[in-house]
Structure 1
Amino acid sequence: MDVCMDKNICAGLKSRLEAINGDSRMPIYSFEGRRPKIDESAWVFPNAVIIGDVTLGREVYVGAGAILRGDYGSIEVGDGSAIEEGVIIHARPEDRTSIGRNAMLGHGAMVHNAVIEDDAVIGMRAVVSDYSRVGEWAIIGEGGLVRNSQIVPPRTVALGVPVKVVGDIKENHIQMWSWAKELYRGLARRYPAGLERID
């Protein structure tokens, strides 16, 4: 079933998927009238799942196996953010999970009813729990746990279970992560033409 909001919003994504899969079926679902809103420059991998009230901005990358469930809450992902493979994002009923611009959620991370501010980096397999907030340009280390209602200040590095701030970010962190983020924005542009299913 076609669940695009209108033909202008999803036409680009449908044509990309058709080129890869041989059809235009999308991993995108409405739920009880809640419909995804996806910028045509975003890339959603064919086996990712987008459900309900989910908004994806420009050049957002959603990797294979990611699940974004806006079934009874809403999810917003800002321009240029990378939702890597296996990430799970959800929100509580009538509440919201917000991912800012140019954020990066590493492979297998989980974000539940939280706020991730612009340029933040969530490490692989990290968990960001209900009502917590990760500040602008903050970095959560791999496997870290941001507890319910925990605030991670902007421009800090936080590690552990639960995470504790261990220092401030340095210019080399910004340079390295800016480079990595541009790689994923580039993939959102390159996959439509370069990815070809061969089985």
Structure 2
Amino acid sequence: MAIIKSVRGFTPVIGKDCFLAENAVIIGDVTMGDECSVWFSTVLRGDVNTITIGNRVNIQDGSVLHTLYQKSTIEIGNDVSIGHNVVIHGAKIRDYALIGMGAVVMDDAEVGEGAIVAAGAVVLSRTKIGPHELWGGAPAKFIKMVEPEKAKEMNEKIARNYLMYSKWYEE
């Protein structure tokens, strides 16, 4: 069973039909929607501020989500995929966005609906990535627009796949 820990009077709230890997760690002021998955060695550390996660979000192996005390929060929309070994620190990620493996998204950055942050990208503090934009590099820069329907379709498919994968662990 995942480590779910209360801190400072906050206890994580987990939605229905969520998969939490045995060594996932969820701490403090974390609210998670339905049908989410938090994979192996992932840490959602809501000890110093709020982390709010929508429905059908998958947070893949080794990722870390954290905030700044009294300054930044994390808001993640619906049908978002967060790749392996991602760091999100006090940022907003809108519906249908994809954060690629090994990316870093810093405080007060915003990733728009259907946007893609490429693997290994570093999104600096206060960067605003618009809807359906692809950004990559370190520091991350705009690369091109992504077709809205393709982005939505891709992230809905990834969300469904991760929901399917999570069911394998029920056996």
TM-score (structure 1 length as normaliser):
0.81
Q: Deviations over 1:54-95 (max 9, x none)?
A: 011100100000000000111011000110001100011134
Equivalent residue, structure 2, for 1:5 = none
How far apart are the structure 2 equivalents of 1:77 and 1:119?
A: 13
Equivalent residue, structure 1, for 2:154 = 176
Equivalent residue, structure 2, for 1:36 = 12
How far apart are the structure 2 equivalents of 1:173 and 1:97?
A: 22
The secondary structure found in structure 1 opposite 2:170 is helix
Mapped pair 1:148 → 2:148: no
Aligned residues: 169
The secondary structure found in structure 2 opposite 1:193 is coil
Deviation of 1:192 after TM superposition, in Å, equals 4.8
Superposed CA RMSD in Å reads 1.4
From the CA coordinates, give the structure whose radius of gyration is larger.
1
How far apart are the structure 2 equivalents of 1:155 and 1:112?
A: 21
Q: Give runs of aligned pairs for residues 99-178 of structure 1, distance below 5 A.
A: 99-170=76-147, 171-178=149-156
Contact conserved, 1:81 with 1:185, CA < 8 A, in 2? Answer: no
Equivalent residue, structure 1, for 2:165 = 187
Identity in percent: 33
Which of 28, 46, 50 in structure 1 is aligned with 2:26?
A: 50
Deviation of 1:130 after TM superposition, in Å, equals 0.6
Deviation of 1:173 after TM superposition, in Å, equals 4.4
Q: Judging by fraction of residues, say which structure has more strand.
A: 2
**Of 38-47 and 143-152, the range deviating more from structure 2:** 38-47
Equivalent residue, structure 1, for 2:61 = 85
How far apart are the structure 2 equivalents of 1:51 and 1:172?
A: 34
Deviation of 1:186 after TM superposition, in Å, equals 2.2
Contact conserved, 1:114 with 1:128, CA < 8 A, in 2? Answer: yes
Runs of 4 or more, structure 1, over 2 Å off, are 170-178, 185-188, 191-194
Letter in 2 for 1:160: G
- For structure 2, list consecutive stretches of 5 or more residues without a partner in the other structure: none
Equivalent residue, structure 2, for 1:97 = 74
- For structure 1, list consecutive stretches of 5 or more residues without a partner in the other structure: 1-16, 18-25, 195-199
How far apart are the structure 1 equivalents of 2:35 and 2:106?
A: 26
